[in-house]
C-alpha cells in the first residue's frame, strides 16, 4: 500500500511526458485567408455514417499509398460537412494533396479540385502527432469563428505533412 502513491505518480508523469512528446501542449495558430492557388486532391469519396466500417480503411489506404510512394503528396481530407457535428451522414474525400495530375492514380481513386479564392479560417500546428492534431485545430477554428463573428459554411480541409505539421481550413462567409 505504501508503494501505491509513488507508482501512480510515476505513471502520471510518464503519461504527461508521452503527451508532451506527441506535442499535446502545443497550441494552434489561426488566421483568416483567401486560398490561392487551387488544391488538387487524389483520393476516394465517401458518403455514410462516420462509424461505418468502410470509412476507416480509406485513411489507412491513403497512408499506404503515400508510404509506398505510389503518389507524392501530403495526407489530406476534404469534408463537405462539419465532421464534429455530422452524426448521421458524413460526406468526405480522403486521400492526398498532390502537386499535379500527372501521377498515375491507384485503382478506385480520382482527382478532385478544391477551388481557389475561397475565404477560409486556417488553423496550423507544428510538431503535433497525427492523432492529436485535429483536437487542437478544430477548437481553434471554432474559437476564431466565434471571436470574429464569422459564419462557417462549406468545407473543412485537413492536411497532414510528414514533419508533423498539420492544418485545417474551414470555409467562412
Indicate the domain borders of the chain.
29-172
pLDDT tens for the chain, 173 residues long, are 677 777 777 777 766 666 655 555 567 789 998 887 899 999 999 999 888 899 989 999 999 999 999 999 999 999 987 766 666 788 999 999 999 888 899 999 999 999 889 899 999 888 776 566 777 888 899 999 999 999 888 899 999 887 778 899 999 98
Fold that domain 29-172 belongs to in CATH: Multidrug-efflux Transporter 1 Regulator Bmrr; Chain A (3.20.80)
CA distances in angstroms from 140 to 27, 53, 92, 132, listed in the order given: 8, 29, 21, 13
The dihedrals phi and psi of 40, each to the nearest 5 degrees, come to -100, 125
pTM above 0.75, yes or no: yes
How many CA atoms lie less than 13 Å away from 170 in the CB half-sphere? 25
Helices (H), the chain: 4-21, 55-67, 133-147
Amino acid at each position: 500500500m505504501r508503494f501505491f502513491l509513488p507508482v501512480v505518480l510515476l505513471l502520471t508523469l510518464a503519461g504527461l511526458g508521452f503527451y508532451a512528446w506527441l506535442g499535446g501542449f502545443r497550441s494552434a495558430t489561426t488566421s483568416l485567408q483567401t486560398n490561392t492557388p487551387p488544391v488538387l486532391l487524389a483520393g476516394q469519396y465517401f458518403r455514410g455514417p462516420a462509424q461505418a466500417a468502410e470509412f476507416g480503411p480509406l485513411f489507412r489506404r491513403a497512408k499506404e499509398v503515400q508510404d509506398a510512394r505510389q503518389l507524392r503528396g501530403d495526407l489530406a481530407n476534404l469534408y463537405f460537412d462539419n465532421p464534429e457535428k455530422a452524426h448521421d451522414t458524413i460526406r468526405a474525400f480522403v486521400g492526398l494533396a498532390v502537386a499535379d495530375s500527372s501521377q498515375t492514380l491507384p485503382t478506385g481513386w480520382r482527382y478532385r479540385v478544391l477551388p481557389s479564392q475561397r475565404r477560409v479560417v486556417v488553423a496550423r500546428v507544428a510538431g503535433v502527432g497525427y492523432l492529436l492534431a485535429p483536437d487542437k485545430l478544430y477548437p481553434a477554428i471554432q474559437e476564431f469563428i466565434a471571436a470574429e463573428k464569422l459564419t462557417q459554411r462549406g468545407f473543412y480541409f485537413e492536411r497532414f505533412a510528414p514533419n508533423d505539421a498539420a492544418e485545417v481550413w474551414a470555409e467562412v462567409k
